[in-house]
Structures are given as structure tokens and as C-alpha cells.
Amino acid sequence: MDLFEYQGKQYFSRFDIPVSAGGVALSVDEAVAAADKAGYPVVVKAQVQVGGRGKAGGIKLANDATEVRTHAGSILGMEIKGHVVERVWVEHASDIDEEYYASFTLDRAAKKHLLMLSAKGGVDIEEVAAKDPDAIVKLHVDPVEGLSLEAARRAAVDARIPDKALTGVASILVQLYRCFTEGDCDLAEINPLILKPTGEVHALDAKVSLDVNAEFRHPEWEDFKATEKLDARERLARDKGLQYIGLDGTVGIIANGAGLAMSTLDVVNQVGGSAANFLDIGGGANADLMAGALEVINSDANVRSIFINIFGGITRGEEVAKGIVEALGRVDLRAPIVIRLDGTNAEEGRQILANAGIPESRLVSKPTMLEAAEAAVVIAT
């Protein structure tokens, strides 16, 4: 789950990482109130989960309430790369001497945590990595041993962070590591991490992605979930406990297992179609799950055909077939179904579907994944 900048900063604060005083605002009046509280001058920042806000005019400096009114008015409702700005973050403007970069992620190849630190921050770190890879220090941290202040300080020296900022940077690194581990982040990134003329080091931005598997031990994440950017289909799917990702094609996909669902998208693409979604109904594939999945697919106006791709392992083919027949009785579908049922007791399952009296204009059964994909794509195009 990706957080907005303001949520990331709130999260940082829990781990004593210094951020600017500020507040989030949904309206111009709220923005002025937040600015008054933070103290002028302030920066008004569009809250969208996409890069390039500054270039798009989504970040503005305001010296007084009138300017806040003007800028918040223009930024709220603005569209940045397809994302409509619903909130602005208004914070006290910082004087900046230098800009650095710091992040923690999991390096899956090394199976260790990875610190990336650079004295060249404030810009796209991918660019720095491409043009000047030596400017980024990478340090693996053993998840059991953790990150000591000494190791953080050595990394800062290696990254050529100037002496006057070393202590501040090292202590923020240790706090950011705590946020990453205890806070169950997939990513905790500060760009830029700034040095102020006063000598203080401070997080000017926050990019945080949370590991939803750890949700059970973070009741404080409830607020973050409320603002998560999901489209209507994704929200409906989540309510039904389904693994769903909305895409923009015309073939609705239902499969059991993440790998098979991904594979189904690929095969549809190979035969010249495009998938409307990724949907994994998991191992169960019973009538309730199937009805829920069909309902979600049915809510997508782009869907012209529905490809159900089930491989019976533990779940037997006849149970899946019964589930589909029952689900069809509950959901009034706009698009026809093409089904490929294979694996354990697939033949019995196909018989149940054949005997259910569903007209061929509504449900077609195909023996292989490829043939089913072809049939679904023909209907959809």
C-alpha cells in the first residue's frame, strides 16, 4: 500500500524522523488554516502518488494567506498524469543548503535489507544511478543484526556527506531503518533529505510503501486505507475478498492462482486480445467466490467476454462447475463466458456445465487454455 507524502510524513514522525510542520487540506480554507498554523512562508504541495509534481505546477511557494488561497485553489482539482489532486499538504518552507537521498528496501537477491544513500539527492535517483552510479552508496543490512549508528555513520562518510551533516544524517538513517523494519515498510525513502543552514538534517519528502501482510499488527494503518486510490472495480473486489487488479482491455479474466491468472492474461494477449483485469479467486473456487468474481467483472463496462480459467488441483472440477452454475443463477451477466476447466475431475465438471441447460450464447466450454483464449477474444473483438 503506497502512502501519500503527508501520510508518509505522519508515519515518519512516529519514528522521530524530523519533518516540516504542516497540515493536510481538502479545501482552500483548510489550506489557509494549515498555513497559518505552520507559519509563513509555506509550500503548498499536491498530494498525488506520481512523480513530476513540481514540473506539473503542483508545488508552489506562498508568502501569505492570499498566495495560499491562489495556489491551493489552482492545485486542488488539478490533474497530474491522470491523477486528480484531492488534497494538498501545506508545510512551513525550509531553507535548503544541500539535498541528499536515503532509502531502505529489501534486496531479494541478497535476502537482506538494502540502504541506498547519496549526497546527490533531490533528483530522480534512477537518473543518478544511470549517470553516476558511484554517487550512490549501497549497504546491505542483516535483518537480524540491524543497523548500528556507527555503520550508518560510515555509510554517510562513504557517500561523501559533508562532516557538518554526518551526525544528523546517521541518526536519521537509524530512525528510517526503524521505520522500515518496525513500521513494516516495503520501501521507506527520503528524497530529498536536506541540510538546513542551521545545520539540522530533515526529511523534505516521504515515500512510503507498506507491506499489507503486516496489517494485523498496525491498527494505525486504518486511516491510510481510507484514502487508498482504488477504482470502483478494485474497491468492490476488495470488499469481496478477491485479488483483483483493474486493466483496460475487453476480456474479463477469472482464474484460480496468481500464476495461472497472470498466465491467462499472457495467453489472451498472445492471441490478439487484451485483458480487462487480473483476478485470482484462490484455491476455493466455490459458488460464493465465483458469484463475487462474476459480479466484479460484470461491473466493468468494457468487458465483452469473460474467460474463466480453472485448474482443479485440490479443488475438484465438479465443485468448480457447480459453483459456476449456481453463480450464474445469482448474477445476471452482460457478457458471455468462455470456460476452460482442467485438472482433477475436469471431465465431470464439464458434464455438469453441459447438463445445466445454459445456452451456448452464454457459456462455451473449451478443452485448452489457448482455445478458450481464442474463443474469448473472438467474442470480445
Partner 1 sequence: MAIFVDASTKVIVQGLTGGQGKYHGLRNRSYGTQVVGGVTPGKGGTDVEGIPVFDGVADAVASTGATASFVAVPPRAAPAAILEAAAAGISFIVCITEGIPAQDEARTYSTLLRDHPTVRLLGPNCPGIISPGKCNIGITAGEIAQEPSVAGPNVGIVSRSGTLTYQALYELKQRGIGVSTCVGIGGDPVPGTSFIDCLGEFQADPETHAIIMIGEIGGSAEEEAAEFIKANVTKPMSAYIAGVTAPAGKKMGHAGAIVSGGKGTARGKMDALRDAGVRVGQNPTEAGALMAEIVAGLR
Q: Give 70 or 344: the residue with its C-beta nearer to partner 1.
A: 344
> Distance (Å, rounded) from C-alpha 99 to C-alpha 193?
6
> Distance (Å, rounded) from C-alpha 367 to C-alpha 191?
52
* CB 118 to partner 1: min, Å: 16
Q: Give 36 or 186: the residue with its C-beta nearer to partner 1.
A: 186
The reply on whether position 342 binds partner 1 by CB under 8 A is yes
The reply on whether position 254 binds partner 1 by CB under 8 A is no
H-type alpha helices, the chain: 5-14, 28-38, 65-75, 125-131, 149-158, 163-182, 222-226, 232-239, 258-270, 287-298, 317-330, 346-355, 369-380
Q: Is 30 a catalytic residue?
A: no
CB-count exposure of residue 220 (10 Å: 0-12, 13-18, 19+) = exposed
Which residues partner with 46 through β-bridges?
88
C-alpha cell at 141: 543490512
Q: Return the range that interacts with partner 1 (CB under 8 A); candidates 13-21, 93-101, 192-200, 242-250.
A: 242-250
> Distance (Å, rounded) from C-alpha 51 to C-alpha 298?
33
Q: Which of 53, 113, 178, 350 binds partner 1 (CB under 8 A)?
A: 113
Q: Which of 55, 77, 95, 126 binds partner 1 (CB under 8 A)?
A: 126
Q: Phi/psi class of residue 355: alpha, beta or left (left: φ > 0; alpha: ψ in -120 to 50)? A: alpha
Q: What does residue 229 show for φ and ψ, rounded to 5 degrees?
A: -85, 100
* CB 287 to partner 1: min, Å: 20
> Distance (Å, rounded) from C-alpha 201 to C-alpha 330?
60
* CB 32 to partner 1: min, Å: 35
Q: Give 153 or 178: the residue with its C-beta nearer to partner 1.
A: 178
Q: Return the range that interacts with partner 1 (CB under 8 A); candidates 149-157, 162-170, 329-337, 362-370.
A: 362-370
> Distance (Å, rounded) from C-alpha 367 to C-alpha 285?
19
* CB 254 to partner 1: min, Å: 13
**Contact criterion met (CB below 8 Å) for 281 and 254:** yes
Of the listed 5, 189, 318, 319, which one is catalytic?
189
Q: Which of 65, 93, 123, 262 binds partner 1 (CB under 8 A)?
A: 262
- Greatest alpha-carbon pair distance for the chain in Å reads 79
Among positions 171-190, residues that touch partner 1 (CB under 8 A) are: 181, 184, 186
The reply on whether position 245 binds partner 1 by CB under 8 A is yes
Of the listed 101, 244, 318, 319, which one is catalytic?
101
Q: Return the range that interacts with partner 1 (CB under 8 A); candidates 64-72, 191-199, 270-278, 294-302.
A: 270-278
The reply on whether position 280 binds partner 1 by CB under 8 A is yes
Q: Give 353 or 369: the residue with its C-beta nearer to partner 1.
A: 369
The reply on whether position 232 binds partner 1 by CB under 8 A is no
- For residue 210, give the nearest of 182, 238, 235 by alpha carbon: 182
Q: Is 11 a catalytic residue?
A: no
Peptide bond into 336 cis (omega under 30): no
The reply on whether position 247 binds partner 1 by CB under 8 A is yes
Binding interface with partner 1 (CB under 8 A): 106, 108-109, 111-113, 126, 142-144, 181, 184, 186, 211, 213-214, 216-217, 243, 245, 247, 255-263, 265-270, 275, 278, 280, 283, 311-314, 342-344, 368-370
Active site (catalytic) residues: 101, 189
